[in-house]
Amino acid sequence: MNIRHFSIIGFVLLLSLLSGCAGSGGKSGQSGIEQSCNSFCQHAQALQCPEGTPLPDGTSCAKFCIDTENAGHDLNTACRIKAKDCAELANCP
């Protein structure tokens, strides 16, 4: 193999590596819904709001949020993440 072959192989490997990273959605390949729900639940927990606690059956805030959003019901996590207290968080439409 000559230098040209190594260059081509290196280029192909670089493209493969970059294409695997493109559009990964942030932290460990999470979807936008997962990222939003995880951020919302962490924020609700930091504020000590009941919305951040698990459901009585043990379902976590994040799982409930992700499942609900994936079922087509908008929980308006963008509004909830900006809330300054539990009352404001609960008043998000």
Domain residue limits, the chain: 31-93
**pTM for the predicted model, two decimal places:** 0.67
Q: Are 80 and 42 in contact (CB under 8 A)?
A: no
Give the Cβ contact number of residue 49 at 10 Å: 20
From CA 36, how far away is CA 44, in angstroms rounded?
12
Helix (H, G, I), strand (E, B) or coil at 72: coil
One-letter amino acid for residue 61 of the chain: C
Would you give per-residue pLDDT tens digits along the chain (93 residues)? 444 433 455 444 434 444 444 444 445 567 899 999 999 999 999 999 999 999 999 999 999 999 999 999 999 999 999 999 999 999 998
